[in-house]
Amino acid sequence: MSESEKWRSKWVAPFLRHLSGERRLSAYTVRNYETALEAFFEFLDSCGKWQGKLEKVNLREARDFVIEQQNRVSRRTVHNYVSGLRTFFKYWIRQGMLEANPLNGLSLPKLPKKLPAFMTEKQVKRLLDGPMLALENESITPYQAWRDRLVLELLYGAGFRVSELCDLTYGQISFDEGVARIVGKGGKSRICPLGRVAIAVLEKWRREFAVGTAYLDPVILSNKRVKWSPRGIQLLLKKYLALADLPHDLTPHKIRHSYATHLLDNGADLRLVQELLGHAKLSTTQIYTHVNIGRLKQAFDQAHPRA
Helices 142-157, 230-243: crossing angle, 10 deg rounding: 100
Which contiguous run of DSSP H or E holds residue 174? strand 173-174
Among this protein's residues, is 297 annotated catalytic? no
Residue 5: strand, helix, or coil: helix
Strands across the sheet containing 189-193: 173-174, 179-183, 189-193
**205 near 146, Cβ under 8 Å?**
yes
**192 near 182, Cβ under 8 Å?**
yes
Catalytic residue among 24, 185, 227, 238: 185
**116 near 103, Cβ under 8 Å?**
no
Among this protein's residues, is 79 annotated catalytic? no
Residue 155: strand, helix, or coil: helix
**192 near 164, Cβ under 8 Å?**
no
Q: Which residues contact 243 (CB under 8 A, 6 or more apart)?
A: 130, 133, 134
Catalytic residue among 8, 147, 161, 257: 161
21: DSSP letter: I
Catalytic residue among 253, 271, 290, 297: 253
Select from 173, 120, 121, 181 the least CA-distant residue to 150. 173
Report how far residue 210's alpha carbon sits from residue 259's, in angstroms, rounded to the nearest whole number: 26
166-197 as b/e, with b when 16 or more CB fall inside 10 Å? bbbbbebbeeeeebbebebbeeeebebebbee
Among this protein's residues, is 279 annotated catalytic? yes
Catalytic residue among 147, 149, 190, 256: 256
Among this protein's residues, is 256 annotated catalytic? yes
**204 near 177, Cβ under 8 Å?**
no
**11 near 54, Cβ under 8 Å?**
yes
Report, as residue numbers or ranges, the catalytic residues: 161, 185, 253, 256, 279, 288
